[in-house]
Amino acid sequence: MTPTTVRFDPVRRLRGELTPPADKSISHRAALLGTMASEPVRVRNYLDAADTNSTLAAMRQLGALIDTQPDHMVIRGTGLREAAPAEGTIDVGNAGTLMRLLPGWLAAQEGRAYTLDGDASIRKRPVDRIAVPLRRMGVHIEATDERFPPFIVHGGRMTGIDYTLPVASAQVKSCILIAALTANGETTVREPEPSRDHTERMLLSAGVPVHRADGAVTVLNQDELVLGEEIVVPADLSSAAFAMAAGILVPKSRLLLRGVNTNWTRTGFVRIAQRMGAIIIGDLEEHGAPLTAGEPIGDLDVTAGPLVGTTVEPWEVPLAIDELPLVALLACFAEGETVVRGAAELKVKESDRIQTVVDGLNALGGQLEATDDGFVVTGTGGLRGGTIHSHGDHRLAMLGAVAGMASKEGVEVVGMDAADVSYPGFADDMAALLPSS
């Protein structure tokens, strides 16, 4: 398929309100835990995008009955230990989150084996990070070259483990916590740094005792999973961040972003941008807030203004992991130097986001240098414009679009269609923020 090329011209200002699309991470978890549950659950505001549609297709293949209505869906799951023996390969498409979380449940299906595969990008993304702890729990997994898809998960009996994650990853943590529900005894996952905690919150709302203290999360074996009657998915901070960045960079802009997830483990980008001088007003969840069932939601008021460079420390990285490309963009417009360290994980996303961000923004007139674990940006007060390739990476496509709106000459994004992975209406939403005169 020929990638779609879209031009984003410089804009004078952006004004108005926007409710960004539903949270991708929470949507994946709602579909998966909904399928694992013994009672039906209603999900409102499920994300209608390529990644989360891959999850719905996978859940149907595993036996879920999903009734989709205009304003909600009802998922009738199979129960914890009764996934259907999927016919053929389970296609995770481009969704790393689906690929890493689902094996935690498949591992519980005694006597059945499941093959998972996906697109060209997913075939380069490591699964050894989940295979190592799952094997320690007793699961038999066969991966291509020991670490890539396609891979096979053989269900069987599992035993709880005490596992320290080598890198902070919410996907790996979630995979182990999901496996813990059917593993004998107790399972503890220790994180080097906090990462998004949507799985813990959703399990708590299902009445599963989740104990979190000193960077460790502990879960016990469960007979069954019963979610509350309804899950309402908030708007995605990671999608909102693109509008936020546009509102910060395009002079005279003022945006109100509605209904956004303000969970502290997701709002690292807001704090980094504020430190750079961005004016973002909103009621964000505080650091150290107790783990509660459900997610905090709020509105964010964004105003354009001048920026200065900053240093993003390794502990902040998991809290802003998908927004680091946008930190690089803000840094191009800031005064002084911005350094991002401890972000080697960017290399194993939908593209190698250290290389694609540095090359992409340099081609538009930026001054960025890649490092082993991040990048250094010398702010030059703006970007000229030019052409950027998405490399099939949704975040890169939207980065190029925002860069174009804030640039001097505009940006052509080759492969804009990649945005459909998380934000299908992105270009229309941006266009709706343009003043009519």
Ligand X SMILES: C=C(OP(=O)(O)O)C(=O)O
Ligand Y SMILES: O=C(O)C1=C[C@@H](OP(=O)(O)O)[C@@H](O)[C@H](O)C1
Interacting residues toward ligand X by CB under 6 A: 95-97, 322, 349-350, 395, 422
- 124 is annotated as contributing to ligand binding: no
The nearest distance, CB 198 to ligand Y, in angstroms, is 7
- 353 is annotated as contributing to ligand binding: yes
Q: Which is nearer to ligand X, 218 or 422 (CB)?
A: 422
Distance CA 313, CA 265 (A): 15
Q: Which is nearer to ligand Y, 200 or 345 (CB)?
A: 345
- 395 is annotated as contributing to ligand binding: yes
Q: How far is CA 55 from CA 163, 420, 432, in A?
A: 27, 15, 29
> Is 51 a binder of ligand Y (CB under 6 A)?
no
Partner from ligand X, ligand Y, none binding residue 316, C-beta < 5-8 Å depending on class: none
Q: Which is nearer to ligand X, 407 or 422 (CB)?
A: 422
Active-site residue (options: 197, 322, 393, 420): 322
Distance CA 279, CA 270 (A): 10
Partner from ligand X, ligand Y, none binding residue 174, C-beta < 5-8 Å depending on class: ligand Y
Partner from ligand Y, ligand X, none binding residue 266, C-beta < 5-8 Å depending on class: none
The nearest distance, CB 324 to ligand Y, in angstroms, is 10
The nearest distance, CB 393 to ligand X, in angstroms, is 8
Site residues for ligand Y, 134-173, by CB under 6 A, read 169-171
- 25 is annotated as contributing to ligand binding: yes
The nearest distance, CB 176 to ligand X, in angstroms, is 16
Site residues for ligand Y, 319-358, by CB under 6 A, read 321-322, 345
The nearest distance, CB 2 to ligand X, in angstroms, is 23
> Is 25 a binder of ligand Y (CB under 6 A)?
yes
Partner from ligand Y, ligand X, none binding residue 47, C-beta < 5-8 Å depending on class: none
# binding residues, ligand Y (CB under 6 A): 10
Is 322 a known active-site residue?
A: yes
- 77 is annotated as contributing to ligand binding: no
- 125 is annotated as contributing to ligand binding: yes
The nearest distance, CB 322 to ligand Y, in angstroms, is 5
> Is 248 a binder of ligand Y (CB under 6 A)?
no
> Is 174 a binder of ligand Y (CB under 6 A)?
yes
Q: Which is nearer to ligand X, 29 or 349 (CB)?
A: 349
Dihedral pair phi/psi, residue 384, rounded to 5°: -70, -55
Task: Print the binding letters for residues 60-99 with ligand Y: x by CB under 6 A, - otherwise.
Answer: -------------------------------------x--
- ∠ Cα 76 81 82 (to 5°): 55
Q: How many residues does the chain have?
A: 437
Task: Print the binding letters for residues 184-203 with ligand Y: x by CB under 6 A, - otherwise.
Answer: ------------x-------
- 96 is annotated as contributing to ligand binding: yes
319 exposure class (CB count in 10 Å sphere: 0-12, 13-18, 19+): buried
The nearest distance, CB 174 to ligand Y, in angstroms, is 6
Contact 238, 300 (CB under 8 A): no
- 393 is annotated as contributing to ligand binding: no
**Binding site members for phosphoenolpyruvate:** 24, 96, 125, 171, 353, 395
**Binding site members for 3-phosphoshikimate:** 24-25, 29, 169, 171, 322, 349
* Interface residues toward ligand Y, by CB under 6 A: 25, 97, 169-171, 174, 196, 321-322, 345
**Binding site members:** 24-25, 29, 96, 125, 169, 171, 322, 349, 353, 395
Which residues are catalytic, by number? 322
